[in-house]
């Protein structure tokens, strides 16, 4: 005792020495008392100890040991009165304001309780009642002096500790009822109002001691649940918090100490019955996990706190769940709560998070009791009773029920969470992360598998890969550090090469270690786990540590290259979504480029269509919902388009994909008429916008690779643009111009890419003109420009466009027909193509679009002259059919085309249909359309060249039948009609066999536009005509009288003039009588109906 009091230097150097001294003295005293076993001597020794109190001041901390010595001695005394007196003595000579004295007193009282529990509890009850009388003092102290508050805190703290140690040292056989009474009456609730940190620590320690008493009882077979355990946890969490009113200078340190003690108490409480409910578990974890974010200083206190926190997490895992599945769920819950710290930006947080994960996994492996030996671990941080498992350490259930299955570990998700840490900048984090991954697979290979996933795991390869992982763990634990190199210097190909060509050495650099880890993981993962890993890659690719993010992306690329064949379409879709999310989230250009490379790798090694579909869908969504020009860091999807267009393998595939989307026909919303599409859905519009944006990006940013792909696919690109140009002009006519503008931008980019300046000028000039005639002309000009610039591309382009004549959308068929009608002029050197085009055009002259019908006919007429005679009969047949078309514009086109084709037609080709042509033209000569009338009369005259053939007699009859109408329209209101009629009259006159007719046509009044000249011409003409046979004259009169009902007043007047002149020159009164009465009646009627008559 003298040596103890002398405070040797070693006690000053390390506070733990004093604790060792104290325990050594107490143990020595206990053994001495057991050996002596003399009650008189023990009482005398107790009196001697009592006299020792005079050696110490009340505030002397060394009296704590005296309390414990006297408490140990009183265990051996049977005299209850003596014991009570000495307890009173201990309390009188203890300063409760000094934490060390308070603790010593509580431990001493606890030692007494081992033999005199009831006496101790009676004394504590009296103290508590006296303390309760001080409650009013506490209330008043807020208005007076703070010292009074601290006095009450000291009393409560000491009292709580005494209750705790009394329970801790009391016999386990009698403690249950006392603890239940203490907890059940909520006596501890009175201590929650303490404010000083040391007082809080004392109350928390008391609750911890209660829990330890329950655990001690369980260890000797006396198991019972701790009543109100969850409420006690709430007490601990409440006392653990920071008080805003506390203004102590060293508050932060004392608070950390309080929290350290509180975490230890929480560990004790969650380790005992009843089983921890989920709500309480979540409450505890929410209140404690934030400690992982504490700063590193003060290091000794913070490290102790983190250690206690990790132990708490292990206790939560060990004491939760009845079967393997529930334990695995608990494990995953804990690990997911640790994820924010594992991936934190601060190194110390990542280090703590990884260590915590590793320790929790070690506990889980012990629960599963089926691993393949340790794969390297940190020193186990746990309480003795937790390591032993307490009363729940064993189970009589079958192992298949106790063990979870492999799938319950969510290996794919978990490995992806820790893989970035294997490439961390911190050496310790890397080491622990590799151990975590090895430990995960160590556990997984010991667990049963579901039947559906068991077949896709090669056990021999898996054990080999696990062995490789464990070799890495052994090496990194021996090697003091690894060389840190940037991952960007290692491509996926180099990574794979290093994996297979270089054996693992004892001294390795960081990249080689990471590559070997990735290789092993790639083998160890099942198909489903790989899929989940790839789905979970977004956070890893966006890791806060750039080196870790780059390493993760490289690992993803390796997984895709080596295991891409295992991915189904749905898996590829979700992986694409994850990678796109990563690319969008990243603003660093280098990191984003790495993710884009991963997307390209995914498209190259899996189903590229699925990847392209998802990229285009996201692009459409962004275009329609965001202002992509203002996205921070640039629009990531545009970068994806650039990467695809610059990829040697994907460039052609992506271009073909874009063109397939452009060629895709929208769903018709009106089934009553083929091709009539009222509108496209907004979703389709977004996809189409994205497609055109993608094509523009491809054409602008593809570089040499992209340009080469465009050159190879020139016909397909041009055809797609032409067809879509027609389709979108159709929408533009309805006021929807935005899609057309996007297409024109892409079209201009195409012109720039292929070097067609002239085509670009054409588009710039007329691209946005939405009138149908204008955009039809635009398409034809584009086709002409392409034919001149690239004659070799005419054949494949026409093949594509010919097939497009069968498309559903009318505007696209019209665009195809317009382009073909121009391309056919340049197909002279391709007879096979020409034959195919003629066949296609002939088939589609029955299209329900008048424009298509007209354009097909125009195309047929523009067959090169060197080939036109081979197809002249087909062309004339089409013209003949379209002269009776229901649409006037088509009829007009047919008449115009007839005029063109007659210039090269031979007699044999025209003879069979000559009369049919004349009949149809006669019907068109009374059209209200002046162009139609003029062209119909002109075509009639052009057919005179074929009147001398085998159809001469029938031809003459048709001429005479048409002659009155021709005469009447010589003085038509429209100049073009008058000119056409004069020209036709001159061509037909030689064939009519009328004497003196030709001389009349040479006179001046025939070409005059004056009315009087025309009437003079009529008189002279009718004088000649009346000399013909009565049958002819009769037919002329009938035709002229019918013209009285013509829609044009001038023609009516001409008819009256013609009839009058003819009647005046006829001599046969019997022949004239019927006509006189008929004409007279009609003229009178006309005069009464219209003043113009």
What is the percentage of the chain residues whose pLDDT exceeds 70? Answer: 82
User: Would you state the pLDDT for residue 140?
Assistant: 37
pTM: predicted TM-score of the whole model, two decimal places: 0.77
Lowest mean pLDDT among 232-246, 409-423, 819-833: 232-246
CA 13, distance to chain mean position in Å, is: 62
Q: Work out the average pLDDT over 278-295.
A: 88
User: How confident is the model over 861-869, as a mean pLDDT?
Assistant: 88
Decide if pLDDT at 378 tops 60: no
Mean pLDDT of 497-516: 60
Question: Which position has the higher pLDDT, 98 or 308?
Answer: 308
| DSSP-derived secondary structure letter, 903 | T
Whether the pLDDT of residue 850 is over 50: the answer is: yes
Please compute the mean of the pLDDT values over residues 976-982 and round it to a whole number.
93
714-732 vs 650-663: helix axis angle to the nearest 10? 30
pLDDT category of residue 181 using cuts at 50, 70 and 90? low
Choose between 347 and 323: higher pLDDT.
347
In the predicted structure, residue 374 carries a pLDDT above the cut 80? no
Alpha carbon 403 to its chain centroid, in Å, reads 37
The mean pLDDT value of the chain amounts to 80
| CA dist list (Å): 213 to 156, 192, 281, 417, 891 | 20, 21, 22, 40, 108
Residue pair 347/425 in contact by the 8 Å Cβ criterion: yes
Q: What percent of the chain has pLDDT over 90?
A: 28
Cα dist from 475 to 425, 442, 505, 515, 523, whole Å: 18, 17, 8, 15, 21
Q: Distances from the Cα of 949 to the Cαs of 87, 223, 821, 915, 991, in angstroms? A: 148, 126, 33, 12, 12
Per-residue model confidence (pLDDT) at position 230: 78
Is the confidence at residue 602, as pLDDT, over 60? yes
Query: What is the spatial distance between Cα 954 and Cα 655, in angstroms, rounded to a whole number?
Result: 61
Q: How high is the pLDDT of residue 9?
A: 60
Rg (CA), the chain: 52
CA distance 74 to 67: 11
- The pLDDT of residue 453 is 55
Lowest mean pLDDT among 176-180, 482-486, 494-498, 843-847: 482-486
Which of the pair, 132 or 39, is modelled with greater confidence? 39
Cβ–Cβ under 8 Å, residues 827 and 837: yes
**391: pLDDT strictly greater than 60:** no
- Write the pLDDT tens digit of every residue in 323-333: 778 888 889 99
The three-state secondary structure class of 58 is: coil
Rounded distance between C-alpha atoms, residue 902 and residue 942, angstroms: 7
242 DSSP 8-state letter: P
Specify the pLDDT at position 1081.
66
pLDDT band at 28 (very low <50, low <70, confident <90, very high): confident
Query: What pLDDT, on a 0 to 100 scale, did the predictor assign at position 577?
Result: 93
pLDDT at 462 over 80: yes
Residue 305 φ/ψ, nearest 5 degrees:
-65, -45
Instruction: Give pLDDT, residue 477.
Output: 76
Mean pLDDT of 1082-1092: 63
Looking from the CA of 589 toward its CB, the CA atoms found within 13 Å total 1
CA angle (737 as vertex; 732, 742 as ends), nearest 5: 120
pLDDT in tens, 690-734: 999 999 999 988 889 999 999 999 999 999 999 988 888 767 666
Confidence of residue 110 (pLDDT cuts 50, 70, 90): confident
668-678 core/surface letters (b: 16 or more CB in 10 A; e: else): beeeeeebebe
Model pLDDT, residue 135: 46
**Eight-state DSSP code of residue 949:** S
- Closest among 925, 952, 957 to 940, alpha carbons compared: 925
Q: Are 978 and 969 in contact (CB under 8 A)?
A: yes
Distance between CA atoms of 774 and 648, rounded to whole angstroms?
40
The pLDDT value given to residue 6: 58
Q: From CA 334, how far away is CA 348, in angstroms rounded?
A: 19
Q: What is the pLDDT of residue 1072?
A: 65
Q: How confident is the model at residue 482 (pLDDT cuts 50, 70, 90)?
A: very low
pLDDT band at residue 56 under the 50/70/90 scheme: confident
Contacts (Cβ under 8 Å, ≥6 apart) of 1019: 1061
pLDDT at 890 over 90: yes
Under 8 Å between Cβ of 710 and 699: yes
In sequence order, which residues have a C-beta less than 8 Å from that of residue 261 and are 6 or more positions away?
201, 204, 205, 208
C-alpha closest to that of 113 among 127, 123, 98, 103:
123
- CA nearest 839: which of 822, 820, 826, 864? 820
Task: Tell which wins on pLDDT, 174 or 902.
Answer: 902
Asked whether the predicted pLDDT for residue 394 surpasses 50, the reply is no
Query: Minimal CA–CA distance to 914: which of 891, 933, 932, 898?
Result: 898
User: Over the stretch 937-954, which tens digit does the pLDDT of each residue have?
Assistant: 999 999 988 888 788 888
Structure confidence at residue 159 (pLDDT): 74
Q: What are the residue boundaries of the structural domains of the chain, listed by start?
A: 1-95, 117-274, 415-448+458-587, 1009-1093
Residue 855 has pLDDT above 90, yes or no: yes
Q: Judge contact between 205 and 258, C-beta under 8 A.
A: no
| Contact indicator for 931, 974 with CB cutoff of 8 Å | no
Q: Render pLDDT for 982-1018 as a digit per residue (tens, 0 to 9).
A: 999 999 888 887 777 888 888 888 888 898 899 999 9
Which range of 17-31, 89-103, 775-789 scores highest in mean pLDDT? It is 775-789
Mean per-residue pLDDT, 618-628? 88
Using pLDDT thresholds of 50, 70 and 90, give the confidence band for residue 59.
low
pLDDT at residue 561 is higher than 90: yes
Contact 261, 205 (CB under 8 A): yes
Among 200-204, 716-720, 913-917, 976-980, whose mean pLDDT is lowest?
200-204
Over residues 74-84, mean pLDDT? 82
Indicate the SS3 state at residue 756. Answer: coil
Contact status, residue 687 vs residue 661, Cβ threshold 8 Å: yes
pLDDT over 80 at 341, yes or no: yes
Dig out the tokens for 317 from the structure.
Answer: 């895992």
Q: How confident is the model at residue 644 (pLDDT cuts 50, 70, 90)?
A: very high
Task: Tokens 């393997």: give the residue.
Answer: 324
């Amino acid at each position: 005792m003298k040596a103890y009091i002398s405070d040797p230097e070693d006690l000053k150097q390390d506070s733990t020495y004093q604790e060792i001294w104290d325990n050594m003295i107490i143990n020595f005293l206990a053994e001495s008392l057991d050996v002596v076993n003399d009650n008189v001597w023990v009482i005398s020794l107790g009196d001697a100890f009592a006299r020792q109190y005079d050696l110490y001041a009340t505030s002397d901390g060394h009296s704590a040991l005296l309390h414990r010595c006297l408490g140990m001695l009183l265990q051996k005394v049977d005299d209850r009165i003596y014991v009570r007196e000495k307890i009173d003595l201990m309390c009188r000579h203890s300063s409760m304001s000094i934490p060390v004295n308070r603790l010593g007193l509580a431990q001493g009282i606890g030692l007494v309780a081992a033999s005199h529990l009831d006496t101790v509890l009676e004394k504590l009850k009296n103290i508590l009642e006296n303390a309760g009388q001080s409650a009013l003092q506490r209330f008043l102290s807020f208005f007076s002096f703070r010292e009074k508050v601290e006095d009450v805190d000291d009393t409560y703290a000491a009292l709580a500790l005494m209750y705790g140690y009394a329970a801790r040292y009391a016999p386990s056989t009698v403690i249950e009822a006392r603890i239940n009474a203490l907890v059940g009456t909520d006596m501890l609730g009175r201590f929650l109002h303490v404010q000083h940190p040391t007082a809080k620590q004392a109350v928390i320690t008391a609750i911890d001691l209660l829990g330890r008493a329950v655990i001690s009882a369980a260890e000797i077979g006396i198991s019972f649940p701790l009543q109100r355990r969850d409420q006690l946890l709430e007490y601990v969490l409440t006392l653990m918090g920071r008080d805003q009113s506390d203004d102590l200078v060293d508050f932060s340190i004392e608070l950390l100490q309080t929290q350290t003690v509180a975490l230890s108490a929480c560990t004790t409480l969650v380790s005992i019955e009843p089983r921890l409910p989920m709500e309480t578990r979540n409450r505890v974890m929410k209140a404690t996990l934030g400690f992982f974010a504490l700063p590193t200083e003060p290091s000794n206190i913070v490290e102790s706190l983190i250690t206690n926190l990790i132990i708490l997490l292990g206790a939560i895992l060990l004491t939760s769940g009845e079967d393997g599945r529930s334990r695995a769920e608990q494990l995953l819950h804990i690990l997911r709560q640790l994820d924010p710290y594992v991936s934190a930006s601060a190194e110390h947080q990542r280090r703590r998070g990884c260590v915590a994960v590793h320790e929790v996994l070690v506990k889980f492996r012990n629960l599963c009791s089926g691993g393949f030996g340790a794969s390297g671990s940190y020193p186990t941080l746990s309480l003795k009773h937790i390591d032993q498992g307490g009363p729940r350490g064993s189970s009589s259930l079958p192992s298949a029920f106790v063990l979870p299955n492999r799938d319950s570990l969510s290996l794919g998700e978990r490995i992806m969470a820790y893989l970035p840490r294997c490439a961390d900048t911190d050496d310790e984090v890397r080491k622990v992360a590799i151990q975590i991954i090895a430990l995960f697979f160590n556990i997984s290979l010991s667990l049963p598998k579901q039947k559906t996933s068991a077949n896709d795991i090669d056990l021999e390869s898996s054990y080999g890969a696990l062995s490789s992982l464990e070799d890495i763990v052994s090496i990194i634990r021996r090697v003091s550090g690894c060389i840190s190199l940037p991952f960007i210097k290692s491509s996926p190909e180099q990574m794979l090469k290093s994996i297979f060509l270089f054996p693992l050495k004892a001294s390795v650099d960081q990249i080689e270690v990471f590559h070997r880890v990735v290789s092993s993981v790639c083998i160890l993962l099942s198909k489903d786990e790989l899929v989940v890993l790839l789905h979970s890659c977004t956070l890893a690719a966006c890791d806060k540590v750039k080196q870790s993010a780059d390493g993760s992306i490289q690992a993803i690329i390796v997984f895709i290259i080596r295991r891409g064949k295992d991915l189904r379409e749905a898996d590829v879709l979700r992986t694409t979504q994850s990678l796109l999310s990563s690319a969008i989230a990243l603003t660093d250009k280098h990191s984003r480029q790495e993710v884009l490379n991963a997307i390209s790798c995914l498209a190259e090694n899996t189903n590229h269509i699925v990847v392209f579909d998802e990229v285009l869908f996201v692009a459409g969504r962004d275009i329609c919902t965001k202002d992509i020009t203002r996205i921070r860091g640039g629009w990531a999807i545009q970068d994806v388009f650039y990467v695809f267009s610059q990829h040697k393998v994907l460039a052609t595939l992506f271009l073909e994909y874009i063109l397939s989307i452009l060629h895709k026909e929208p769903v018709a919303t009106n089934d009553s008429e083929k091709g009539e599409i009222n509108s496209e859905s907004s979703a389709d519009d977004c996809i189409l916008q994205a497609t055109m944006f993608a094509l523009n990006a491809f054409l602008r940013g593809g570089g040499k690779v992209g340009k080469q792909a465009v050159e190879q696919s020139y016909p397909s690109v041009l055809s797609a643009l032409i067809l879509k140009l027609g389709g979108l002009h159709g929408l533009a006519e309805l006021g929807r111009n935005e899609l057309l503008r996007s297409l024109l931008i892409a079209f201009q980019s195409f012109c720039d890419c292929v070097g067609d300046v002239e085509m670009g000028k054409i588009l710039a000039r007329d691209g946005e003109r939405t009138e149908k005639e204008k955009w039809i002309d635009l398409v034809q000009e584009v086709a002409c420009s392409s034919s001149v610039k690239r004659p070799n591309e005419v054949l494949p382009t026409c093949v594509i466009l010919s097939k497009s004549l069968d498309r559903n959308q009318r505007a696209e068929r019209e665009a195809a027909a317009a382009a073909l009608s121009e391309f056919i002029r340049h197909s002279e050197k391709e007879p096979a193509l020409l034959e195919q085009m003629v066949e296609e055009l002939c088939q589609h002259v029955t299209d329900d679009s008048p424009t298509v019908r007209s354009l097909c006919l125009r195309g047929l007429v523009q067959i090169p002259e060197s080939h036109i005679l081979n197809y002249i009969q087909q062309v004339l047949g089409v013209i003949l059919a379209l002269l009776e078309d229901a649409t006037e514009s088509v009829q007009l086109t047919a008449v115009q085309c007839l005029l063109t084709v007659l210039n090269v037609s031979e007699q044999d080709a025209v003879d069979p249909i000559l009369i049919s042509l004349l009949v149809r033209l006669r019907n068109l000569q009374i059209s209200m359309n002046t162009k139609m009338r003029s062209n119909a009369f002109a075509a009639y005259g052009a057919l005179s060249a074929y009147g001398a053939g085998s159809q001469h007699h029938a031809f003459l009859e048709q001429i005479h039948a048409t002659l009155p109408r021709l005469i009447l329209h010589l003085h038509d209101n429209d100049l073009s009609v008058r000119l056409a009629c004069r020209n036709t009259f001159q061509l037909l006159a030689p064939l009519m066999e009328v004497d003196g007719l030709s001389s009349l046509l040479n006179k001046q009044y025939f070409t005059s536009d004056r009315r009087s000249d025309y009437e003079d011409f009529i008189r002279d003409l009718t004088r000649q005509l009346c000399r013909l046979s009565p049958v002819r004259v009769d037919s002329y009169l009938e035709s002229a009288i019918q013209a009285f009902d013509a829609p044009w007043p001038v023609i009516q007047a001409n008819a009256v003039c013609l009839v009058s002149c003819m009647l005046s020159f006829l001599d046969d009164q019997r022949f004239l009588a019927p006509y006189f009465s008929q004409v007279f009646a009609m003229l009178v009627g006309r005069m009464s109906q219209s003043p113009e008559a």
